[in-house]
Amino acid sequence: MVETKFKVDKIRKDFPILNREVNGKPLVYLDNAATSQTPQQVIDVIVDYYQNYNANIHRGVHSLSQEATDAYEAARIKIQKHYNIANTYEVILTSGTTHSINLVANGFTSFVKEGDEILVSAMEHHSNIVPWQMLCERTGAILKVIPMNQNGELVMEAFHELLSDKTKMVFCNHVSNALGTINPIEEIIEASHKVGAAVLVDGAQAAPHIKADMQDLDVDFYTVSAHKICGPTGVGMLYGKEEWLNKLPPYQGGGEMIAEVTFEKTTYADLPHKFEAGTPNICGGIAFGAALDYMNSIGFGAIAQYEEELLKYATEQLLAIDGLKIYGTAKNKTSVISFNVERIHPYDIGSILDKLGIAVRTGHHCAQPIMDFYQIPGTVRASFSFYNTKEEVDVLVEGVKRARNMLL
């Protein structure tokens, strides 16, 4: 039994989508690691923006533009405070984690030369692998992989051995999307800095579970996507230390990122606008701020405690099913359960669960190297949020049992 004072019934009322049916059954939404649902409080902010002050920002002289600019910049401050970032201008608003990583990887071309080394953890998703592979192709740098063990934990001894004065950059996710593992980023950041390497932490999967403190972590870059944390899609954050952001060249040209343009030469705007070319996702940025307000009104401590109880309960119930194996059994993990049942293909289980109204993710979760590591085609991934319930776990368990009986 989940014993908690967490008022999940009250919280669920904030999410209108949770009342709908799928395939004639009440929706059980367990694909939160892919995208979280949006509470009414955030939806209202989006509607209010388009109904009342939709305008382009920063350069408009009219009142609507000023209102939109104020709201957008207020959201930046909310993000700054949420992540305890020293300066507002170290918050770059991007389209999301993939954009943020590409921005840094592209900029690092100037700082990496042939023979330099870049370390990547074995449990990255493609967005935190491919941009760095492209960087290596451009520069002749070498990509080295920090291995993981069967539990889905990084082998830290191997990491320390891989580090050297050739290491220019280390990148790692805070939480693995496919396994739920919380990585020891504090140790990674500290050790990397000792050899002079910069560190980028992909915080996309950590965002809904962990309130990361940028100054405390002393990380060089950190990325977040708003849609993982009750916000809209198409907007996210790149945190960068001021010294790095000043050194990195602009990623895209045009719009707000210029100071002065002539056909002879262009000078660039100051931070953060240097990296914010074109019209941004204004409404998205404002709603991102509202999503953080919403999450903070519930409290990350309470969320973490409740999700831990849910994870424990779900793990116990699922492991009671014959032949079910969980991939990713790290001691320190978030509420993600990646599993397979005997020799059944994950797509088959996912298809049956869908007919029962249960939304889970199946496949390689854009993290094929992890699946190669376990030598499996993919997994079924149930990822829980603070608005999920023990009863929904029960529906999932019954659904997996039914699928197993049908498919074996």
Partner 1 sequence: MTIEKIQEEIVDEFSMFDDWMQRYEYMIELGKSLPLIDEQYKTDDNIIKGCQSKVWVHAELDNDKLVFTADSDAIITKGIIAILIRAFSNQKPQAIIDANTGFIDEIGLKEHLSPTRANGLVSMVKQLKLYAIAYQTQLN
Annotated catalytic residues are 366
- Of the pair 160, 402, the CB lying nearest partner 1 is at 402
- Of the pair 184, 363, the CB lying nearest partner 1 is at 363
Strands 221-225 and 198-202: parallel
Tokens of 383: 């990822």
Q: Which residues bind partner 1 (CB under 8 A)?
A: 23, 344-345, 347-348, 351-352, 354-355, 363, 377, 406-407
Q: Output the smallest distance, CB 345 to partner 1, in A.
A: 4
Side by side, the strands of the sheet bearing 167-173 are 91-94, 236-240, 221-225, 198-202, 167-173, 117-121, 142-146
Is the Cβ–Cβ distance between 222 and 79 less than 8 Å?
no
- Of the pair 184, 377, the CB lying nearest partner 1 is at 377
Q: Output the smallest distance, CB 355 to partner 1, in A.
A: 6
Residue 97 CB neighbour total at 10 angstroms: 27
Rounded distance between C-alpha atoms, residue 200 and residue 244, angstroms = 11
- Of the pair 248, 367, the CB lying nearest partner 1 is at 367
Rounded distance between C-alpha atoms, residue 406 and residue 300, angstroms = 40
Q: Output the smallest distance, CB 24 to partner 1, in A.
A: 8
Q: Is 29 helix (H, G, I), strand (E, B) or coil?
A: strand
Q: Which residues pair with 91 in a beta bridge?
A: 239
Q: Output the smallest distance, CB 170 to partner 1, in A.
A: 32
Rounded distance between C-alpha atoms, residue 136 and residue 114, angstroms = 8
- Of the pair 280, 346, the CB lying nearest partner 1 is at 346
Residue 277's closest CA among 250, 307, 313?
A: 250
